[in-house]
Structure 1
């Protein structure tokens, strides 16, 4: 895939993540993989995606170590695409994206919901801090800061008080 990342964004985890999963078909293929699809024809039929586009996306997902290509038939050679550990670690991200979408729909408009597998009850996913259990939706309690590997530019971005950040007025 051609890189669309700006030079200054190369160290930003959001930018690098979007480079791996930010393409429309990529997210849909991963969604199907989480639903148990593994074969080329299953992805193609379910998504109604062209052969060339699916081939390109699957190659990228394999190169990015999100899917593994495995031979399941010798003659003729046939392959399946299975989530890797790295790919499986994207599940909370996919759940969060779906929950965000559902949050903006009425219950009658939702075509897919997340349910407890044992009880069948609908669940509402939230992101929380593992240490404190606090909900991460609170933009006042949780902010981004420069990490140990941050460049001078990244450190500069996150230096100063909260009220000096873009989009914030008088400490709001």
Structure 2
């Protein structure tokens, strides 16, 4: 079996993040958790993923502190998976992926799910990246500063 490359000691925050949530199943599990899915069977029905793959991804997300296992909210003997504060911090990532997908993978008028504000029922505004002084910035306005080589 080929050993998986790990980026858990990389100096790049993107590489370390991808090491934890970079495969599509993990991102879709997190998306479903934001949508209120909590039990193994619910994740499996929603995603249509094989049990062994789902088990491995859930175990990894728990191990990385993105999800935690808690007793079932209905008092039954089942366990549930809930987002930790670390997992909830992925909300802007999921919204960014959703907005990118809406902009690039759907034809005008094509039916799709929509994320709306619970209070007003309106779609969210597009995410914006801003500098510390509040200016809107894009890729040409930023530069990565790498740590010195050891």
TM-score by length of 1: 0.75
> Larger Cα Rg: Structure 1 or Structure 2?
1
Q: CA RMSD in A?
A: 2.4
Deviation at 1:130, TM superposition (A): 6.1
Q: Unpaired segments of 5 or more residues in structure 1?
A: 154-172
> Any idea what the Cα deviations from partners look like across 1:29-55, whole Å, max 9, x if unmatched?
000000011111110111111111111
After superposition, residues 1-172 of structure 1 pair within 5 angstroms as 3-5=4-6, 10-72=10-72, 77-104=77-104, 105-129=106-130, 131-136=132-137, 138-146=138-146, 150-152=147-149
> Any idea what the Cα deviations from partners look like across 1:57-99, whole Å, max 9, x if unmatched?
11000000000011228x9842100000000000001100111
Partner secondary structure for residue 82 of structure 2: strand
Partner secondary structure for residue 124 of structure 1: coil
Partner secondary structure for residue 82 of structure 1: strand
CA, structure 1 residues 89+6, in 2 after alignment: closer, same or farther (shift >3 Å)?
closer
Instruction: Give the match for residue 159 of structure 1.
Output: none
Paired positions, count: 146
Partner secondary structure for residue 119 of structure 1: coil
Greater RCO (CA < 8 Å, at least 6 residues apart): 2
Instruction: Give the match for residue 166 of structure 1.
Output: none
Partner secondary structure for residue 140 of structure 1: helix
Contact 1:69 1:80 (C-alpha < 8 Å) held by counterparts:
yes
CA distance in 1, matches of 2:112, 2:140: 33
Partner secondary structure for residue 38 of structure 1: coil
Q: Unpaired segments of 5 or more residues in structure 2?
A: none
